């Protein structure tokens, strides 16, 4: 029997599952920070939702903790790195609310198209304004879905039932996968230019922050209607308000906001905007599923069994020889995803040298974590990475050989279009990139990296350096390499102290002699 502390409301079904497994369940909601520090002492499992903050200090107090369970998807309120360091498993319930979220997106779509909240408010206020609230049909219209993960795919399925044409943008989904669910993939600019309705289903990260902003809205089909039931901050709310006022956007429906709780916004003053207070997962069924799923995961963790929704810990099953390379493989995954601008068409994980003969399966999982990190609407773990790769149509292959020409061990990730290699170097086993797209380069990983492929001619380094300098971006290190065999192209890998702005990327891309430019985020220190 283990002690389980539940600090937020959990479904009775979930509590019953914990008790049926023989555990002592202590439900204590509304605890303050000091009370929580005291309550967690001697507890083996902690079950939370979104309000409880699981900090390094709390984990230190909970010295007996085996598992922290988050009854929901997001883990922003859990210090996963600190939990991993202490050997505490973190689990979530990533499939608990996907149906509810998809249905709420459709509800917002219909409410916006038919002016349902506005008509309701007028009627209960004593006004019969039938002619004022003329709407539009969904049938025959084009729906653009930004983010074709599990929720986006469910929205597509439901929209098909309304007779809509579906187009989508998701660089982490293969064409083959999209075709199977009756969706046509296209670049984001092309998508907004042709769709009548746009619905957003993206995680919030560096790549997606304010992705739907002023510039993109200006390129949209005039009269587009926008729904956001995913994450606040992906849609620039100020830019949206301006676009609605100008008539570029006909209307919008939002369930999420950049800052929550949100009770004031310029959007609230616009009659063509429908809003709800983050209700996407607020159904009885979703709450029941979240409670039951997290209880199942906690019971498995306490029993020492395989836990399907664990988001950490699995790396500890790697051998002593392989374990130091897991962070390297994950970082390489970030780099090849950035070079591919999304999901590679395929992924080959190639290991050369001293690691030959080791079980390399977990190294491949680490690489997948890096590749999928920016494009998943749930935290990517060693456990769920294969499922997410399969859902997105990513073919993965492992190759190993005992021969390594220049390095003791070398890890390479390769697709049909791009490749990146890394190794551990020196007395401190520092992680270094040593090849990008078959150009020999060597430099440390950095949080911000610019990769430029150019004609091999004088002056190109100066062009890049000047562009960064004019933008106030400092270069911390740089490596330049030619293509093996003496080809006429060269490649620069430039580590910077801050992200290179979009306008610099555009300017460099149009400069004669520069063939392509890629910006890499997340190549810096990985969570261990």
Dist CA 50 CA 96 (whole Å): 14
Reading the block at residue 336, the tokens are 């090849």
Q: Are residues 29 and 9 in contact, defined by beta-carbon separation less than 8 angstroms? A: yes
Query: DSSP H helical segments within 359-512, as ranges?
Result: 361-372, 385-391, 460-470, 502-509
Distance of alpha carbon 446 from alpha carbon 431, whole angstroms: 10
Structure tokens at 492: 């620069």
Element housing 119 (H / E): helix 116-124
Strand order in the sheet with 273-275: 184-185, 165-169, 142-146, 197-200, 224-228, 249-254, 273-275
Q: What are phi and psi of 215, to 5 degrees?
A: -65, -45
If we measure between CA atoms, which residue out of 187, 167, 197 comes closest to residue 105?
197
Q: What is the DSSP letter of 198?
A: E
The pLDDT value recorded for residue 316 is 63
Q: How far apart are CA 498 and CA 363, in angstroms?
A: 29
The domains located in the chain, with CATH, are 3-94+284-303 (3.40.50.720), 98-275 (3.40.50.720), 320-521 (3.30.1330.90)
Nearest alpha carbon to residue 384 among 158, 23, 124, 92: 92
pLDDT the model gives residue 315: 64
Measured in degrees and rounded to the nearest 5, phi and psi for residue 44 equal -90, -25
- What is the spatial distance between Cα 523 and Cα 528, in angstroms, rounded to a whole number? 14
Torsional sign, CA 181, 183, 184, 185? negative
Dihedral sign for Cα 53, 59, 63, 66, please.
positive
Residue 502: partners with Cβ closer than 8 Å, 6 or more residues away: none
Active site residues: 231, 260, 278
Whole-number CA gyration radius for the chain: 25
Q: Do 167 and 385 contact (CB within 8 A), yes or no?
A: no
- Is residue 359 within 8 A of residue 314, CB to CB? The reply is no
CB distance 59 to 52 below 8 Å: no
Task: Output the CA angle 444-448-450, nearest 5 degrees.
Answer: 85
Decide if 157 contacts 180 (C-beta within 8 A). Answer: no
Q: Minimal CA–CA distance to 145: which of 207, 201, 92? A: 201
Locate the DSSP E strands across 246-369: 249-254, 273-275, 346-353
Paired sense of beta strands 142-146 and 89-92, if any: unpaired
Task: Look at phi and psi of residue 198 and say left if phi exceeds 0, alpha if psi is from -120 to 50, else beta.
Answer: beta
Question: Angle 98-114/150-161 helices, nearest 10 degrees?
Answer: 50
Which two structure tokens, joined as six digits, stand for 212?
């739907």
- The answer to whether the CB of 129 falls within 8 A of the CB of 195 is no
How many Cα atoms are found within 13 Å in the side-chain-facing hemisphere of 508? 30
In angstroms, the CA 26 to CA 43 distance is 10
pLDDT of residue 526: 38
Q: How far is CA 54 from the centre of its chain?
A: 21
β-sheet bridge partners, residue 45: 4, 67
d(CA 96, CA 75): 14
Q: What is the pTM of this model?
A: 0.81
Polymer length of the chain: 528
The segments of the chain whose pLDDT lies below 50 read 524-528
- Residue pair 475/468 in contact (Cβ under 8 Å)? The answer is yes
Amino acid 528: pLDDT: 29
d(CA 293, CA 208): 29
Residue 336 backbone phi and psi in degrees, to 5? -70, -30
| The predicted structure's pLDDT at residue 9 | 93
Q: What residues pair up with 46 in beta bridges, in sequence order?
A: 5, 68
How far is 178 from 185, CA to CA, in rounded Å? 7
Q: Are the C-beta atoms of 163 and 140 separated by less than 8 Å? A: yes
325, 409 contact by CB (below 8 A): yes
Residue indicated by tokens 């074709």: 148
Which residues, other chains included, contact 430 with Cβ-Cβ below 8 Å and sequence gap of 6+? 424, 444
Angle (CA) 440-347-332 rounded to 5° is 50
Query: Which residues have C-beta within 8 Å of that of residue 454, sequence separation ≥ 6?
Result: 460, 489, 490, 491, 492, 513, 514, 515
């Amino acid at each position: 029997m283990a002690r389980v502390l539940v600090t937020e409301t959990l479904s009775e079904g979930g509590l019953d599952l914990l008790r049926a497994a023989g555990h002592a369940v202590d439900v204590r909601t509304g605890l303050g920070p000091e009370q929580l520090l005291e309550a967690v002492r001697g507890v083996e499992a902690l079950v939370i939702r979104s309000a409880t903050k699981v900090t390094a200090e709390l984990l230190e107090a909970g010295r007996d903790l085996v598992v922290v369970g988050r009854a929901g998807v997001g883990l922003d309120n859990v210090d996963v790195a600190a939990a991993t360091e202490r050997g505490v498993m973190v689990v979530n319930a990533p499939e608990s609310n996907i149906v509810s979220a998809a249905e709420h997106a459709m509800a917002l779509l219909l409410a916006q198209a038919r002016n349902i909240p506005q008509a309701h408010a007028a009627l209960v206020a004593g006004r019969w304004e039938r002619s004022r609230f003329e709407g539009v049909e969904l049938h025959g219209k084009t729906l653009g879905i930004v983010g074709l993960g599990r929720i986006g795919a469910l929205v597509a399925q439901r929209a098909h039932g309304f007779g809509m044409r579906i187009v989508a943008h998701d660089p982490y989904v293969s064409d083959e996968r999209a075709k199977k669910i009756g969706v046509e993939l296209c670049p984001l600019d092309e998508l907004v230019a042709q769709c009548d309705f746009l619905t957003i289903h993206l995680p919030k990260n560096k790549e997606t922050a304010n992705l739907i902003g002023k510039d993109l809205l200006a390129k949209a089909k005039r009269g587009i209607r926008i729904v956001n039931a995913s994450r606040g901050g992906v849609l620039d709310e100020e830019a949206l308000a301006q676009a609605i006022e100008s008539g570029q956007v006909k209307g919008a429906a939002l369930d999420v906001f950049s800052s929550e709780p949100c009770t004031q916004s310029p959007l609230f003053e616009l009659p063509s905007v429908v809003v709800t207070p983050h209700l996407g997962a607020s159904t009885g069924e979703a709450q029941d599923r979240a409670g039951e799923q997290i209880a199942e995961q906690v019971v498995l963790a306490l029993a020492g069994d395989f836990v399907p929704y664990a988001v950490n810990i699995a790396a500890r099953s790697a051998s002593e020889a392989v374990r130091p390379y897991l962070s390297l493989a994950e970082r390489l995954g970030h780099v090849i995803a950035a070079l591919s601008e999304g999901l590679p068409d395929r992924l080959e994980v190639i290991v050369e040298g001293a690691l030959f003969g080791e079980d390399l399966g977990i190294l491949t999982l680490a690489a997948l974590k890096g590749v999928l990190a920016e494009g998943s609407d749930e935290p990517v773990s060693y456990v769920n990475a294969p499922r997410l790769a399969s859902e997105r149509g990513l073919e993965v292959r492992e190759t190993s050989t005992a021969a390594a020409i220049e390095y003791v061990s070398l890890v390479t990730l390769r697709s049909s279009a791009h490749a990146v290699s890394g190794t551990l170097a020196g007395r401190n086993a520092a992680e270094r990139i040593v090849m990008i797209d078959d150009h020999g380069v060597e430099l440390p990983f950095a949080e911000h990296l610019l990769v430029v492929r150019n004609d091999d001619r004088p002056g190109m380094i100066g062009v890049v350096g000047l562009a960064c300098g004019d933008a106030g971006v400092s270069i911390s290190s740089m490596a330049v390499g030619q293509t093996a065999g003496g080809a006429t192209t060269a490649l620069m890998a430039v580590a910077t102290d801050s992200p290179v702005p979009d306008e610099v990327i555009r300017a460099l891309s149009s400069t004669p002699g520069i063939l392509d430019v890629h910006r890499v985020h997340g190549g810096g220190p990985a969570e261990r």
